[in-house]
Amino acid sequence: MKKVVFILIVLIALPFFALATSHPGGGLGELSPGDPIGRTGGIDSTSLSSVFINLVNWFAWFVALAAVVMGLYSGFLFITARDEEAQLKKAKSVFVYTIVGIIVAVLAFSIVLIARSFAGL
């Protein structure tokens, strides 16, 4: 159980490390009013990498939302099981897949942020 908690903490912390990169022009105090905020490179919306990043972001948001909904469904199954083995087994299975979905969503966000920081996108 300790290993699972440690892995979850590391996966949740990955996006924060990816966002810890500095702006190419310096710190936030050196931005001029015309600088685009949130962009470090000159990617336009038609480039292939931008489209791929947007698709991965949409996928990650969808998986995260589905994981939250499935977590609520799993909780509902646990509450209404009333010692029925089949429903308890189904609730446990749904809960495990919920955790897997959350991990996939966190990894997708982390991979995008890490790739952006390394590639300078």
- Whether this prediction's pTM lies above 0.75 is answered by no
Model confidence at 93, in pLDDT bands (50, 70, 90)? very high
Evaluate whether residue 72 is within a structural domain.
yes
Tokens for 81, please give them. Answer: 């099981």
Is residue 32, in this structure, part of any structural domain at all? Answer: no
Number of structural domains the chain divides into? 1
Q: Per mean pLDDT, which range of 7-16, 69-78, 90-99 is the poorest?
A: 7-16
Q: Residue 72: what pLDDT? A: 92
Does residue 33 lie within any of the structural domains?
A: no
The tens digit of pLDDT for each residue in 36-85 reads 555 555 545 457 777 777 787 788 788 888 888 898 999 999 899 888 89
Distances (CA, A) of 29 to 18, 19, 26, 32, 72: 20, 17, 8, 9, 43
* CA nearest neighbour of 70 among 90, 41, 52, 42: 90
In-domain check, residue 101: yes
Contact 106, 75 (CB under 8 A): no
Nearest 10 degrees: Cα torsion 50, 56, 61, 66: 160
User: What is the extent of the structural domain holding 17?
Assistant: 2-21+45-119
Residue 69 inside a domain? The answer is: yes
40 part of a folded domain? no
The reply to whether 93 falls in a domain is: yes
